[in-house]
Amino acid sequence: MRFLSNPSSGKMGYALAGACRDRGARVTLVSGPTALKRPEGVEFVAVESARDMLRAARRGFGSCRVFIASAAVSDFRPAVRHAQKVKKSGAEETLTLLPNPDILAELSRRKGGRLLVGFAAETQGLLANAAAKMRSKRLDLMVANRVGRPGSGFGSDDNRATLLCTGRPARALPLLPKRELAETIVDEVERLLSGGAV
């Protein structure tokens, strides 16, 4: 085993950054390691770990009006990181994991007048789990998607999502290219901002 991760590519976050930029927003994109090309016209902050991402998010949070948390940040990290390859010995190994910080939960405690958008990648109980996360993290908009289906979600160019917004019925979207989904999400953000939701 070399690392623990998920197959998230970052495509959704990059699509959102581009969509916000094209609507005239000043955008800061905090990105973990990815093979994607850096988008032009946005401030770009590269990070390696969940703790790095939290530090970068904290730095930008004070000056933002809208915070979109689309990264599929690992829930756990190894308790010990080795600088070199651990050679196979034939003996059993125990891997101890520690919880990573919940970036959106921490920042939501300082929500103020900001509009917060989160993502819920679920394998079961999609709407119930997404709604619970939305309440606990004080989100204005939640983008819920079921992962594990071929052709959408992690690593794919397309995604199928349901939008949850307080006071409105859940809105199930068809399978869309991630850039088109990003435009739909930004439409909803603009509606919330113009309606005085925050």
Q: Catalytic residue numbers?
A: 6
Spatial CB neighbours of 153, under 8 Å, sequence gap ≥ 6:
121, 145, 146, 147, 159, 160
Residues linked to residue 143 through DSSP beta bridges, in sequence order: 119, 163
Q: Identify the CA nearest to 172 among candidates 135, 126, 139.
A: 126
CB 175 within 8 A of CB 184: no
Cα angle 20-5-127, degrees, rounded to a multiple of 5: 60
CB 154 within 8 A of CB 121: yes
Distance CA 96, CA 127 (A): 31
